[in-house]
Amino acid sequence: MERGNTPLPPTTGVNSSQTSLAVNTAHLASAVLLCPTFLVGVLGNGLYLWVLGLKMRRTVTTLWFLHLVSCSLLFTLLIPFFTISLLMDFHWVFGTAMCKFLNTCISVAMFTSVFLLTLISLDRYILTHHPIWSRHHRTLPRAGKLVVGMWLASFGLSAPYLAFRETRVVDGGRIICINNYALSGDWNGAKTQDLGRRVHLAIFIVRFLLGFLLPFCTIVICYVRQHKYKHTVLENLPHSCY
């Protein structure tokens, strides 16, 4: 018999059980790590919110970080739902409505965090390079409107989860929470799969550009400009000031 035609040994029940045990062990280890993450996240973010919201004077800077911590707390509060699903081998028991709602909340928190970090970088840059303009235009009401606008923009970018996220019953009666970009029950149809890929690609491009590339470039440019400005100021100082 030729070597290339040698049949592979059949998969035995022992190998299958070992694989299942390894997967369950990995899920259990992940859940164990998520539990202290949830506790520390809730306590830490809750403490930060209490200090920023009640113990510090309300300024533009504290407003940025107040909402940034709120995003982190929102994300942390959702950990138990996904931990339960993880322990059940990704079996979703919370229903279709919660499948849509929880994933939308995660996306909103993510986008708002990214937008706030970008806004903080821009704020630092404007304070450094345009101090007079900042003194007259950098006000708390305007900052509040910017924050509200970012939350609304984040919800708009996360709205596809409300439309496309749904539950599906797979082999063995297990329910999973996944995206159905074609909005069709015909999961295996050629036209349905092609439409789903096109919609998925369009959403991915928009989220990549607005949620990563544009904020990343903005933050890097602000940092580089501030770094150059700092060196320029230091070089122009008299030697006696060093």
Domain ranges of the chain: 23-235
Q: How far apart are CA 12 and CA 133, in angstroms?
A: 73
Q: How far apart are CA 160 and CA 164, in angstroms?
A: 6
Long-range contacts: 198-202, Cβ < 8 Å, 24+?
A: 199/164
- Pairing between strand 175-179 and 165-169? antiparallel
74, 105 Cβ separation under 8 angstroms:
yes
DSSP annotation string for 97-142: HHHHHHHHHHHHHHHHHHHHHHHHHHHHHHHHH-HHHHHHH--HHH
**Cα-based distances in Å from 99 to 80, 87, 160, 175, 216:** 14, 17, 13, 11, 29
Give the architecture-level CATH label for domain 23-235: Up-down Bundle (1.20)
Q: What is the pLDDT of residue 235?
A: 59
Q: How far apart are CA 168 and CA 178, in angstroms?
A: 7
Rounded to a whole number of angstroms, the CA Rg of the chain reads 25
pLDDT per residue, tens digit, the chain (242 aa), is: 444 443 444 444 445 455 555 567 888 888 889 999 999 999 999 999 999 988 889 999 999 999 999 999 999 999 999 999 988 888 899 999 999 999 999 999 999 999 999 999 999 999 988 889 888 889 999 999 999 999 999 999 999 999 999 999 887 788 999 998 887 766 677 777 888 889 999 999 999 999 999 999 999 999 998 877 666 655 565 554 44
Q: How far apart are CA 75 and CA 58, in angstroms?
A: 24
Q: What is the pLDDT of residue 193?
A: 80
Q: What is the pLDDT of residue 3?
A: 41
**Total length of the chain:** 242
Three-state secondary structure call for residue 62: helix
Residue 63: partners with Cβ closer than 8 Å, 6 or more residues away: 140, 143, 144, 147
Reading the block at residue 203, the tokens are 């959403």
